[in-house]
Structures are given as C-alpha cells and as structure tokens.
C-alpha cells in the first residue's frame, strides 16, 4: 500500500503536470519536448541506427574476441618456445658439465703423462751426463797416460841419450818406430 501511495505522489509531481495550461498543446514546452523526442526516436528507428550500433558493437566484440584468441594462441606458442628453450638450456648445462668433467680428466691424464715424460727426460739427461762424465774421465785418463808416456819417453830419451852411443840410438829409434806401427794398426 505504501508503494502505491509513493507511485501516485511521484506521478502527480512530474514536470508534465507542473506546466500551465493543457498538456496536449504546442504552447506547453513539455509536450513539444516529448513530441521532438518521439520524432527523434522515430528517425533513429527509420534509419535503423540501433541495428547499426548493434552491428558495430558486434563487430567490435568479434574483433576483441579474435584478438583474444590470437593473444591466447601467441601465449601458448610463447609457452611452447619457452619450454623448448628451458629444455635446451638444461641440455646445454648438462653438456657443459660433461665437458668440464672430461676436461678435468684429460688434464689429470696429461699431467700424469707429463710427469712420466719429465721422469724419462731427466733419466735420459742424467744418463747422457753420466756418459759425458765417463767419456771426459776416459779422455782425461788417456791424456794423463799420453802425457805420462811423453814424459817417460822424454826422460828415457834423455837418460839413453846420455848413456848410449850414436849407433845404439839409431837402433832404438828404428825399434820404437816399428813398435808404434804395430800398436797403431
């Protein structure tokens, strides 16, 4: 009941009833505005403006829907590419780890081989040095012997030269030459 009373009060206080004179008169501004508004609505309906607006809105909605579908497809493609790159990154990381392990192993083997090669080279150089020392010792001993022989020969020559005659000297020289020839050959 209260709602009905409120509706009657609201209708009786409308602006159309507030103007002076009869409502259906061209002198009533509210009537003229109502007629103009109805003509305006009629023109809009005549030229099918609501259907054009609806068509434009439908096109816009379809465009937005197509853009959303394209964005969704692009997102799925990007996720696929991202997953592919993540997989490749994991593969590259594991390959890099394998390469590092292999490099460490190869470096250790190379170091061990280098140690062995160094030992062999040191042994070879020591052997060569020992051979040179032995050769130098032998040369020194030979030189000392040769010098001793020369000194002994010279001393013997002096002693013999003082004690021997010229004929004895000639015979000794001939026998010494013969002996040297036999020893050298």
Nearest to 25 by CA among 34, 13, 15: 34
25: left (phi over 0), alpha (psi -120 to 50) or beta: beta
| Residue range 62-85: mean pLDDT, rounded | 96
Q: By mean pLDDT, which of 1-15, 16-30, 89-103, 128-142 is the weakest?
A: 1-15
Residue 66 is predicted with a pLDDT of 96
CB 16 within 8 A of CB 30: yes
**Would you state the structure tokens that stand for residue 128, as one six-digit string?**
């060569």
Summarize the confidence of residues 119-130 as an average pLDDT.
91
Segment 135-166, tens digit of pLDDT:
888 888 888 888 878 887 787 777 767 777 77
d(CA 107, CA 115): 12
8 Å CB contact between 15 and 28: no
Q: Given this model, what pLDDT does residue 72 score?
A: 96
Tokens representing 162? 């003082």
Quickly tell me which residue has 């937005």 as its tokens.
Answer: 64
Res 8 pLDDT > 50: no
Structure tokens at 118: 């160094």
Whether pTM exceeds 0.85? no
pLDDT bracket for residue 4 (50, 70, 90): very low
The pLDDT tens digits of the residues spanning 36-69 come to 999 999 998 888 888 899 999 999 999 999 999 9
Q: Cβ(156)–Cβ(173) under 8 Å?
A: no
Per DSSP, the residues of 31-84 read HHHHHHHHHHHHHHHHTTHHHHHHHHHHHHHHHHHHHHHHHHHHHHHHHHHHHH
Higher per-residue confidence, 28 vs 156: 28
Q: Alpha-carbon distance 170 to 59, whole Å? A: 143
């Amino acid at each position: 009941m209260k709602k009905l009373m409120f509706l009657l009060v609201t209708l009786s206080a409308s602006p159309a009833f507030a103007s002076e004179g009869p409502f259906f008169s061209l002198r009533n501004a509210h009537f003229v505005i109502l007629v103009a508004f109805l003509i305006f609505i009629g023109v809009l309906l005549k030229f099918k403006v609501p259907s054009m607006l609806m068509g434009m809105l439908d096109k816009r909605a379809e465009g937005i829907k197509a853009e959303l579908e394209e964005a969704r497809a692009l997102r799925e493609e990007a996720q696929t590419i991202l997953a592919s790159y993540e997989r490749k990154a994991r593969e590259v990381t594991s390959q890099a780890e394998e390469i590092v392990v292999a490099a460490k192993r190869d470096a250790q083997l190379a170091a061990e081989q280098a140690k062995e090669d160094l030992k062999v080279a040191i042994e070879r150089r020591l052997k060569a040095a020992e051979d040179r020392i032995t050769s130098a010792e032998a040369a020194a001993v030979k030189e000392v012997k040769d010098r001793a022989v020369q000194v002994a020969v010279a001393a013997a020559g002096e002693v013999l030269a003082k004690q021997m005659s010229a004929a004895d000297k000639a015979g000794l020289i001939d026998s010494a030459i013969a002996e040297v020839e036999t020893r050298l050959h």
